[in-house]
Amino acid sequence: MELDRVKTVGVIGAGLMGSQIAELFSKVGGYQVVMWDLKPEFVNSGLEAMENRLAKFFVEKGKMTADEAKAIRGRVKGTTNIAEAAANAEYVVEAVLENTEVKKKVFSQLDEAARPDTVLVSNTSYLNITDIASATRRPDRVAGMHFFNPVSVMRLVEVVKGTLSSQETVDLVVGMSVKLGKEPVVCKDFSYGFLANRCNRAMRNEAVQMLWERVAPPEDIDKAMKLGYNLPMGPLELGDFTGGWGIAISSEEDAIRELGPEKGRAHPLIRMMVRAGYTGGRSGKGIYAFWRDVMSRW
Ligand SMILES: NC(=O)c1ccc[n+]([C@@H]2O[C@H](COP(=O)([O-])OP(=O)(O)OC[C@H]3O[C@@H](n4cnc5c(N)ncnc54)[C@H](O)[C@@H]3O)[C@@H](O)[C@H]2O)c1
């Protein structure tokens, strides 16, 4: 598939990432987008989130007119029929729950419905692309396209080459990333967590260990990383912001399989926090709150 043949893009999942990805393809790429989710209320909430973001971050800030926002929204159609989202698209981006079995089921449905030359990409954060592609009859036309949250702000896209992904597919995903105004990096999928999340895992686990040892409070651990390494956010703040603490536990099990036991172990502090409901992100309380409410009182 060549980049200029792509006219319609299917986005599978209308959650936090799917809704932002659909917006980006319409806003920057000018594509027609069909966004799917399981239930009409999930689709509607993804469309509503898109309208709100366009109003708040673009129209109200004078970065686009209300008519431009309307046109961007107008190119995105919602559906609960996965075949409809795949059948007319030349390029499909999947952004459903981070679980290999769920993704394989979705990819097998996409493979059934999509035209044979349609390229299917996954926004998975760390799952194995070759495994996901094995649910299709077109593993050469499957790759990873890993966006970062918030999608319109973060410049990186990790383009993940599965063992069977063709060079043509990788080139298409790289070209698409550039067209969408992003900076792609290409990596192979036989590591774990691609490039940024694998490095972040190591940094996050070390920061949690230091908090556990009470070397310093969370503010100072983050301050050291921000000022010492010129990062906009420290590893603990970032965990709270992304709501990644629950995922940090389940992903360690995969990390043990892929990288070996010495590299994959969810820290006991993360397990304690998550069991007590301190997961960060949408829960509104993460490691900073756990330190304040629980640990600092021990
Ligand atoms: N949140 C982030 O910061 C971030 C960043 C990069 C990549 N990702 C990846 O993007 C993907 C989506 O993450 P998200 O944060 O948008 O999650 P989300 O929970 O906001 O959305 C996930 C969507 O998957 C759908 N879903 C749930 N179970 C399903 C099933 N059994 N079959 C089909 N669909 C199902 C839900 O209806 C929901 O709309 C994941 O693979 C995640 O790892 C997330």
> Does 158 participate in catalysis according to the annotation?
yes
- pLDDT exceeds 80 at position 265: no
Q: Does ligand 1 come within 6 angstroms of the Cβ of 194? A: no
Q: How many domains does the chain have?
A: 2
Q: Does ligand 1 come within 6 angstroms of the Cβ of 123? A: yes
Q: Are residues 146 and 278 in the same domain?
A: no
Q: Is 253 left (phi over 0), alpha (psi -120 to 50) or beta?
A: alpha
Q: Is residue 153 part of a domain?
A: yes
Look at residue 216 in the predicted model and tell me its pLDDT: 97
Q: Does ligand 1 come within 6 angstroms of the Cβ of 124? A: yes
Look at residue 254 in the predicted model and tell me its pLDDT: 78
Q: Does ligand 1 come within 6 angstroms of the Cβ of 20? A: no
Instruction: For residue 247, give the ligand 1 atom closest to its CA.
Output: 43
Confidence class for position 240, pLDDT limits 50, 70, 90 = very high
Q: Are residues 248 and 177 in the same domain?
A: no
Task: Give the domain range for residue 166.
Answer: 3-188
- pLDDT exceeds 90 at position 112: yes
Look at residue 246 in the predicted model and tell me its pLDDT: 87
Confidence class for position 250, pLDDT limits 50, 70, 90 = confident
| Token pair of 63 as six digits | 């970065």
CA of 17 to the centre of ligand 1 (A): 7
**Domain end point (choices 188, 204, 233):** 188
Q: Is residue 298 part of a domain?
A: no
| Token pair of 164 as six digits | 């069977």
Which among 97, 124, 147, 233 is the best mutation to test ligand 1's pocket, defined by most ligand atoms within 8 Å of the CB? 97
What digits encode the pLDDT tens for the residues 179-204? 999 999 999 997 778 999 888 888 99
CA of 103 to the centre of ligand 1 (A): 10
Q: Which has more confidence, 296 or 124?
A: 124
Instruction: Name the CA radius of gyration of the chain, rounded.
Output: 20
Q: Are residues 21 and 163 in the same domain?
A: yes
> Mean pLDDT in the chain?
94
- pLDDT exceeds 90 at position 75: yes
**Domain end point (choices 161, 188, 215):** 188
- pLDDT exceeds 90 at position 252: no
Q: Are residues 158 and 180 in the same domain?
A: yes
Distance CA 27, CA 25 (A): 6
CA of 62 to the centre of ligand 1 (A): 31
Choosing from 125, 152, 205, 251, which is the catalytic residue?
Answer: 125
Question: What's the pTM value of the predicted model, to 2 decimals?
Answer: 0.90
Q: Are residues 85 and 165 in the same domain?
A: yes
Q: Is residue 25 part of a domain?
A: yes
Q: Is residue 297 part of a domain?
A: no
Q: DSSP letters along 173-205, please?
A: HHHHHHHTT-EEEEEESSSSSTTHHHHHHHHHH
Q: Are residues 177 and 213 in the same domain?
A: no
> Does 99 participate in catalysis according to the annotation?
no
> Does 197 participate in catalysis according to the annotation?
yes
